[in-house]
Amino acid sequence: MGHGGNVIAELTADHDEVNKLFDELMAQPVGSKRRRELADRITVELVRHSVAEEQYLYPAVREHVEGGRTLADKEIRDHAEVERLLKALESLEPTDDRFDQQIATLKTSVQAHVQDEENRLFPQLADACSPAVLAELGDKIRRAKKLAPTRPHPSAPDTPPANKLLAPGVGLVDRVRDYVSGRRHHIA
């Protein structure tokens, strides 16, 4: 979702939004269907966020920040770990004990990513770039994120391709990633 502001404000607002979704999920009754719907929503938001960061944030970090290559490589490894956890979550029903365990592991991993970016990466980027560069990156990231619909379920559009893209369940991570990164324009 677009929030406005420079790249750091935009991505920090994404982090806050995902945190709120985790809180909302945890507030639902254990085993409820709503937990699955919120897990799908978290999946879509995290994948969109990751792709936007990979397309615009990390190249800028590599270019402008001292030691940026190493920093960017670490963040990309963290994204791969988060996606591995999201994929493991895709097929779990909320009535399965592993669902809540998987959510807890995912939340820990996402919070580590958030802390790392907000406390280490963003301040270094802010020091290294002019306000104009940071603002332009914010615009690019907003445009990248707009390429994907935000709500997987239950209000997903019922016309192709969004209905197939956003149908919950197995393959959601790959479908969203392909769609947002422009690798696939038609969802088979």
Query: Closest approach of Cβ 113 to Fe ion, in Å?
Result: 6
Residue 104: partners with Cβ closer than 8 Å, 6 or more residues away: none
Nearer to Fe ion, 39 or 46 (CB): 46
CB neighbourhood size of 56 (10 A): 21
Asked if residue 181 lies in contact with residue 165, where contact means CB atoms within 8 angstroms, the answer is no
- How many Å separate Cα 144 from the centre of its chain? 12
Residue at shortest CB range from Fe ion? 117
Nearest to 82 by CA among 59, 48, 55: 48
> What is the residue whose two structure tokens read 């301040």?
123
Do 56 and 141 touch, CB atoms closer than 8 A? yes
Footprint of Fe ion (CB under 5 A): 117
Q: Which is nearer to Fe ion, 99 or 122 (CB)?
A: 122
Is residue 89 a contact partner of residue 103, using CB atoms and an 8 Å limit? yes
User: Looking at beta carbons only, is 54 or 117 nearer to Fe ion?
Assistant: 117
For the CB of residue 46, give the shortest distance to Fe ion in the complex, in Å. Answer: 9
Rank residues 40 and 117 by Cβ distance to Fe ion and give the closer one.
117
Q: How far is the CB of 4 from Fe ion (least distance, A)?
A: 17
CB of 15 to Fe ion, least distance (A): 6
Toward Fe ion, which CB reaches closer, 25 or 61? 61
CB of 44 to Fe ion, least distance (A): 15
Cα separation, 70 vs 124, in Å, equals 13
